[in-house]
Amino acid sequence: VPPSRDRLRIAIQKSGRLAEPARTLLASCGLHWRESRDRLFCYGETLPVDLLLVRDDDIPGLIADGVCDLGVVGRNVLAEQQAAQVADGREPVFREWLPLGFGGCRLALAVPEDWGWQGPAQLSGKRIATSYPSLLARWLADEGVSADVVMLSGSVEIAPRLGQADAICDLVSSGATLAANQLKPVATLCESEAVLAGPVAGFDAVRGELAALLMRRLDGALRIRH
Ligand code: PRP
Ligand code: ZN
Ligand code: MG
């Protein structure tokens, strides 16, 4: 995919919870695309706005590197990577531009159902599995609790049964995954939904105008929905 200066490139999730609603929302802004054979790139036919289909966790980095201009991603992913940058003493280079009203979920701390929950101090010295180590570390520090963070990129919910961890910190939407694993949510670290993410610094004139046009159309599309 060649670099582009006169077209806007938006990264969206290739597959998963946000993939379909992200495309539907962008289509409702009057965008239509021609898909490449490998289905990773969609060329905008009605406006010079293209899509790149990627893993959601890669979206903030693609914006940071300037490979993509904007992205549709869960606030949870954005917040985790921002927290990681801040913990590293770096200034975040991407930020939330607009909440998009779908993909609602929360990042929650969950413990085995048979624990009598008395509060965060109970986690002291315990192992907590998560894909959100920076948000969890920040929350633990805020609560004044010292615990071991076990980083797992997936299947976090089975970690307690495997003896890898005592508790978990993961996304909860319907709650079915927690229930199926005999876990219960006891604290919320972050309320999440899909957001439009973009660079902290703006764009040059051409892409700036395209981004402003897209924002106006998104605003309109979201207003009609609510
Ligand atoms: C999240 C989370 C849980 C599940 C919770 O994963 O990691 O597995 O959703 O949803 P529920 O409360 O409705 O059961 P997701 O499907 O977003 O995919 P990922 O873990 O691969 O990112
Ligand atoms: Zn993911
Ligand atoms: Mg999952």
Does the C-beta of 176 come closer than 6 Å to ligand 1? yes
Q: What is the pTM of this model?
A: 0.93
Does the C-beta of 172 come closer than 6 Å to ligand 1? yes
**Residue 3, pLDDT score:** 57
Residue 113 has pLDDT above 70, yes or no: yes
Give the number of the atom of ligand 1 that is nearest the alpha carbon of residue 177: 14
Residue 2 has pLDDT above 80, yes or no: no
Average pLDDT rounded to a whole number, residues 109-137: 98
**Residue 115, pLDDT score:** 97
Stretch among 2-11, 54-63, 67-76 having the lowest mean pLDDT:
2-11
Does the C-beta of 15 come closer than 6 Å to ligand 1? no
CATH of 105-192, picked from 3.40.190.10, 3.40.50.12500, 1.10.600.10, 2.60.40.1890, is 3.40.190.10
Token readout for 49 is 């706005």
**Residue 1, pLDDT score:** 55
CA of 44 to the centre of ligand 1 (A): 31
Phi/psi region, residue 168 (left: phi>0; alpha: psi -120 to 50; beta: rest), is beta
Residue 4 has pLDDT above 80, yes or no: no
- Substitution candidate for ligand 1 out of 171, 174, 181, 193 with most atoms within 8 A of CB: 171
Average pLDDT rounded to a whole number, residues 53-64: 96
CA of 206 to the centre of ligand 2 (A): 32
- Substitution candidate for ligand 1 out of 109, 135, 173, 189 with most atoms within 8 A of CB: 173
- For residue 36, name the pLDDT band (cuts at 50, 70, 90): confident
- Average pLDDT over the chain reads 95
Name the CATH superfamily for 8-103+193-225: Periplasmic binding protein-like II (3.40.190.10)
Pinpoint the residues of the chain covered by CATH 3.40.190.10. Answer: 8-103+193-225, 105-192
- Taking each helix axis as running N to C, give the angle between helix 75-87 and helix 133-143, from 0 to 180 degrees, rounded to the nearest 10: 70
